[in-house]
Amino acid sequence: MSFDARTIEQSEAVVKHGAPIAPYTTFGIGGPADVLIEVYTEQALQRVVSEAMAGGMRWLLIGGGSNLLVGDTGFRGAVIVNKIDHVRVEGNRIVAGAGADLGEVVEAARRHALSGLEFAIDIPGTVGGAIRGNAGAFGRAMADVATRIRLLEGATLVDRTPADLGFAYRHSNLKTNTNIVVETEYTLEPGDRSEMDRIMGQHAAQRARRHEKGLHTAGCFFKNPVLPDGSKIAAGQLLESAGAKEIRAGSAGVHAYHANYIVNQGGATASEVLRVAREMKRRVEEANGITLEEEVMIVIDEPAAGSV
């Protein structure tokens, strides 16, 4: 299996061989990729994916690298980093490339007094990742505001509606197929900027301590469990009551403030993070009989033949 970089224009993509994945993740963890490609246009993304598919090469898409844990041995195949990051305001709509930082979209909405995305203040990651995981907070999620999602399905660009994506709590069918978000359109409502600022200030204050600057974490590691009556209980609450904040393994440990965050305290490995995660799950299951489900995407390859 190989990747022919000559098919990609240099102005549209950057191709690296053997580059570490860690700098492209918020965890700061991840070994080398066989080939790593930063793509900046829809056309480059199409060509990269088509080339990988034609060559039978495995590929992994990364946006902002949040909600992702990549193994210490890296990834045997192509890692595609989506850098399609345009943000346009068109009337009461915002159109954003999948590689755009979600915070930039929220700020664009605030500047133009377009209400509906206040809940997303300080949610880490990119537009594409937020759509894939139906990211949300404070009772709202991407499914409530996205009205058109442009996807790369195989090698074809198509426009889809939210109904096509099967949105559910922290889920879309993009988690079960290989379709890639290329662009998202949000339809918002005219709002009062001062009221929007007040709401976003409240939300940001609630999230501030768990998102301290420079913190290497993937965000909430586990989903909030859904109880038999359909209600949800905070995974962080379950973990805190189970004593998870004391859990450590090497340079990985549970956040001192938020018990559903695992922190790379400096030089942590993926295996250390997984040891912490397993102990977190064990304690909650022992204390409450509830099995936590990972929200973070875990990509762990077996060591290459002959490696130690």
Question: What is the reported pLDDT for 196?
Answer: 96
Q: How confident is the model at residue 228 (pLDDT cuts 50, 70, 90)?
A: confident
- 24 part of a folded domain: yes
pLDDT tens figures, 149-158: 999 999 899 9
The CATH number linked to 229 is: 3.90.78.10
pLDDT tens figures, 278-302: 999 999 999 999 999 999 999 998 6
Question: What is the reported pLDDT for 231?
Answer: 87
What residue numbers bound the domain in which 182 lies?
87-206
**Do 91 and 71 sit in the same domain of this protein?**
no
Phi and psi torsions of 254, nearest 5°: -75, 140
The CATH number linked to 163 is: 3.30.465.10
Mean pLDDT of 59-84: 95
Mean pLDDT of 234-256: 96
Q: What burial letters (b/e) apply to 162-179, b meaning 16+ CB within 10 Å?
A: beebebeebbbebeeeeb
Where is the domain boundary, 158, 176, 206? 206
- 4 part of a folded domain: no
**Do 192 and 223 sit in the same domain of this protein?**
no
**CB–CB of 211/124 below 8 Å?**
yes
Q: How confident is the model at residue 227 (pLDDT cuts 50, 70, 90)?
A: confident
pTM of the model: 0.87
Question: What is the reported pLDDT for 206?
Answer: 80
**Do 96 and 77 sit in the same domain of this protein?**
no
For the chain, the domain total comes to: 3
Flag whether pLDDT at 304 surpasses 60.
Answer: no
**Do 191 and 110 sit in the same domain of this protein?**
yes
Q: How far is residue 82's CA from residue 88's CA, in Å, rounded to a whole number?
A: 18
**CB–CB of 272/249 below 8 Å?**
yes
Where is the domain boundary, 51, 82, 113? 82
**DSSP alpha helix (H) spans, 136-269:** 193-208, 235-241
**Do 56 and 99 sit in the same domain of this protein?**
no
pLDDT tens figures, 206-224: 876 555 556 899 989 999 9
- 3 part of a folded domain: no
**Do 226 and 274 sit in the same domain of this protein?**
yes
Instruction: Identify residue 118 by its one-letter amino acid code.
Output: E
**Do 99 and 70 sit in the same domain of this protein?**
no
Question: What is the reported pLDDT for 305?
Answer: 36
- 305 part of a folded domain: no
Q: What is the DSSP letter of 154?
A: T
Q: How confident is the model at residue 141 (pLDDT cuts 50, 70, 90)?
A: very high
Instruction: Identify residue 237 by its one-letter amino acid code.
Output: Q
Mean pLDDT of 131-141: 93
Beta strands in 83-231 (DSSP E): 87-90, 93-97, 114-115, 136-137, 140-141, 146-153, 156-160, 180-187, 189-190, 217-220
- 94 part of a folded domain: yes
**Do 104 and 155 sit in the same domain of this protein?**
yes
**Do 174 and 273 sit in the same domain of this protein?**
no
**Do 201 and 216 sit in the same domain of this protein?**
no
**Do 175 and 265 sit in the same domain of this protein?**
no
Percent of the residues in the chain that have a pLDDT greater than 90, as a whole number: 81
Q: How confident is the model at residue 2 (pLDDT cuts 50, 70, 90)?
A: low
**DSSP alpha helix (H) spans, 9-82:** 42-54
- 304 part of a folded domain: no
The CATH number linked to 66 is: 3.30.43.10
